[in-house]
Structure 1
């Protein structure tokens, strides 16, 4: 028997350390070669670390949420006989197995999910949580004894703090549970009935993707002086054109508002290169990108992810719609590749059906701008009647928000960009011209 020390392998891409997301083994467990040992996260990539040997786990390093450096001890495994000596051992008494095969470290993008919701987690600890007792008001007056009611009704009234003398009885003069229900309904808001059930406090360690999101958002707000600008846009004609295109799309993917908006943005970027840029504030360099690698904020079960549409400016509306659907599904089911989740130069974020009147989105650092379409609403507006006057007409309106890094983008530039975007959206036929 000998001990094999398995150090944190080099997972490539210049990664110096990784965060432990979840252990799949513990001391005392028997493991087989190529068995899944632990998940670690670098940036937004979750890596499967697999065992290079067969043996018994003696020791593991760290717990979920801890950071471990490449080359540091990850775990110790007791193996049969003498393990083959290879580079990277730690400690003279520890023999070593060959360096892990390349296939032993399989990279995958994984959206963290739990087997149950937060509410289910609480119920797992106590499947029958007892509601807090309702507050009891002042002691019941003596004349309650004169009221006709069963012992069960009297007890319920005491629990709810109800004076039975104030409850109107049925025709026979006896108060029943239905009369208590009617009294509570009539006095809704009076504090008699509890408004909901209590549940135990719950602590959850912030790890994995949720931790990355927290770190990135904090760094963005801490380092970037944000400003936001919002403009109202009439999308009536755009929605009419979208409906016509979808009615004749054949086997093409269905168009939503998003590919139309991305197409409009890409047409304007050559005039506003400061919007499609990344700012390295450590060296003081702003890179204005020629290609638009459009980040697309996507909500998943594990949190917000930003898959990237490469060279969005080179795609037509149908190709954009296809990429949007493909990347969103890949982010949600955990199949997105590492390169599909990094390298964006500009991001668009939408709350979809949740909409909202206006948003002030947080910039996806080190980008310098993020664009957010909001909910479409119908509202009467004055429009030209064609003969020099105006008439009232129902129109579809949407606010577009943009947040910018004020170190790089001036307010005038952001406002000018959105105004040009407004003109393009309100004349949507321009999106189909060369």
Structure 2
């Protein structure tokens, strides 16, 4: 028997250390050649480490969440051969899930609550395998459903066809008579180590709030005409992607931006330099099972509504399934964050440092409103109203500029034909 010391390889780009995110082996496990050892995270990507030899794991470098220097031993493996070998693996297999929080492009504040901790195990009811294969859900959601004895095929997802923890909670609340544990049932305390992407989010949110004096502004917009136009465009879209509200809002933002260059900017506070960008590289906050990521729509000002719709769908899916490239998760100049169906009345998003502004629409609600009757008077109509929130870096953006920018967007939302004008 011999031993093989696998050292953390040089991942490139001047990386000095990496964080152990997930161990795939433990001491005493047998691992085959090319088998997974661990996933490690750098400032640029999550990287999968594979074993170049077969054998039994004798030692591991540390726990999940620990930092390990490049060139340090990661695992020691007892091999079937003879002699002792210390060697750095020749290559590391990079996963297609780069870290959205890589400096200097941090991940912004998570605008959705993280999934609730898994409940204590309950009696498991056997589920037909055919049902589980027909639904989309993360491993954590599948495991929780199995513990509760829930057939995921019976759970209706709230959005995009993917079942989330909130969908399980809703199913439990409405099916308590079926013997499932109530959604509000007492759960055991659980300690969750903050590592990987969640730690990056934590660090960057703290840095953003610590270094940037935020201020926020909220304005109400009448989106009735915008929604009518969106419905008409979708009715005639042919084989083009269906328009959501986001492409229209992004177009409005890009149309208003030339008059407010101080908002499409990044602030290097160490050098004391603000860079104002001619192109709008729009960061699009996207909730994933691993946390909030910010894929970037390059040159959003040059894209029409249908191109924006396609790019939004492509980038959101890439972020959620882990295929987004590093360059697609960095370089934004202003960020848009939308809470979708959870839009709320107003919110105060945290700036995606080193950007200087972040803007977000809130939920559209129907309310009675006084409108001109065309004869010099007013009448009451049911209108679709939406609040628009913005947070800015008060060191480089004045309140007047932020309010004027939102008012310009409001005019475009309330007169949407201008979005299509050349």
Q: What TM bracket, shorter-length normalisation?
A: 0.7 to 0.9
Pairwise CA distance, 1:44: 6.5
Deviations 1:394-419 (A, max 9, x none): 21111100000111111111011111
- Normalization by structure 2: what TM-score? 0.78
Q: Is it true that 1:320 corresponds to 2:303 in the alignment?
A: no
Deviations 1:69-120 (A, max 9, x none): 222222222334467xxxxxxxxxx5334x5344x42232179xxxxx7554
Q: Is it true that 1:22 corresponds to 2:22 in the alignment?
A: yes
Structure 1 distance, partners of 2:272, 2:394, is 14
Residue among 279, 283, 294 paired with 1:306:
294
- Normalization by structure 1: what TM-score? 0.76
* Corresponding position of 2:70: 70
**Residue correspondence of structure 1 range 22-421 to structure 2 within 5 A:** 22-43=22-43, 45-81=45-81, 95-97=85-87, 99-102=88-91, 104-109=92-97, 118-120=116-118, 122-124=119-121, 197-421=185-409
The answer (yes or no) to whether the contact 2:8–2:89 under 8 Å persists in 1 is no
* Corresponding position of 1:162: none
Cα distance 1:402–1:35, how it changes in 2: closer, same or farther (>3 A)?
same
Q: Is it true that 1:5 corresponds to 2:5 in the alignment?
A: yes
The answer (yes or no) to whether the contact 1:44–1:341 under 8 Å persists in 2 is no
The answer (yes or no) to whether the contact 1:64–1:207 under 8 Å persists in 2 is yes
Pairwise CA RMSD: 2.4
The answer (yes or no) to whether the contact 1:375–1:399 under 8 Å persists in 2 is yes
Higher RCO (CA-CA < 8 Å; seq separation 6+) = 2
Cα distance 1:206–1:282, how it changes in 2: closer, same or farther (>3 A)?
same
Structure 2 distance, partners of 1:77, 1:363, is 46
The answer (yes or no) to whether the contact 2:46–2:94 under 8 Å persists in 1 is no
The answer (yes or no) to whether the contact 2:98–2:326 under 8 Å persists in 1 is no
The answer (yes or no) to whether the contact 1:11–1:105 under 8 Å persists in 2 is no
The answer (yes or no) to whether the contact 2:117–2:190 under 8 Å persists in 1 is no
The answer (yes or no) to whether the contact 2:31–2:54 under 8 Å persists in 1 is yes
Figure out how many residues of one structure are paired with residues of the other and give that number.
351
Deviations 1:338-364 (A, max 9, x none): 222222111111111112111111111
Question: In structure 1, the residue corresponding to 2:363 is in which secondary structure?
Answer: strand
Structure 2 distance, partners of 1:332, 1:18, is 23
Structure 2 distance, partners of 1:387, 1:281, is 55
The answer (yes or no) to whether the contact 2:45–2:94 under 8 Å persists in 1 is no
